[in-house]
Structure 1
């Protein structure tokens, strides 16, 4: 169950961050509202996750997967450039999360 909550927290954070791109510096109402709601939901779900999962593991997964997902969304849907260096960075972020989990996520 903690991984389901964590996945939902990641999805909410990614939605909030993506909406922030469209908020134009919080000058557009609905993208701004979605940003705030996304982050409130993300932190609420992350807090629930921390009841049963270590903070280091949960935060590493939340931040790493969220970062990789937003980077991919930017490249696939928002016209950001994709390069071998960026893709390698995403792979390294995900690899770091995996190593953290393998090295003591109990």
Structure 2
């Protein structure tokens, strides 16, 4: 169950951050509401995850997956350009998350 909760926390954070871009500094109501609710979901489910998964591992996966997903969404939805260095960096983050999940005995 903690892995499902972590996936929900990541999804909430990604939705919230994407809506935050659209909120234009909290001047638009529905993107602002979506952002606040998304962060509430993210932090609530992350708090549940931390009951069973070590904080360093859970946070690394939560943050890493969120960064990679938001960067991709930014490129697709908002037309933000990713140069080679950005692509390499995001790939390294994804690689780190994969290594933590498949090879680490810290979990």
**How does 1:19-98 map onto structure 2 within 5 Å?**
19-98=19-98
Query: Structure 2: any 5+ residue segments left out of the alignment?
Result: none
CA displacement at 1:99 relative to structure 2: 3.2
Q: How many residues align?
A: 106
After superposition, the C-alpha distances for 1:39-74 in whole angstroms (9 at most, x for unaligned) are 011000000011111111100000000000000001
3-state SS of paired residue (1:105): coil
TM-score (norm. length: structure 2): 0.93
TM-score (norm. length: structure 1): 0.93
The CA RMSD over aligned residues, in Å, is 1.1
Stretches of 4+ aligned residues off by more than 4 angstroms? none
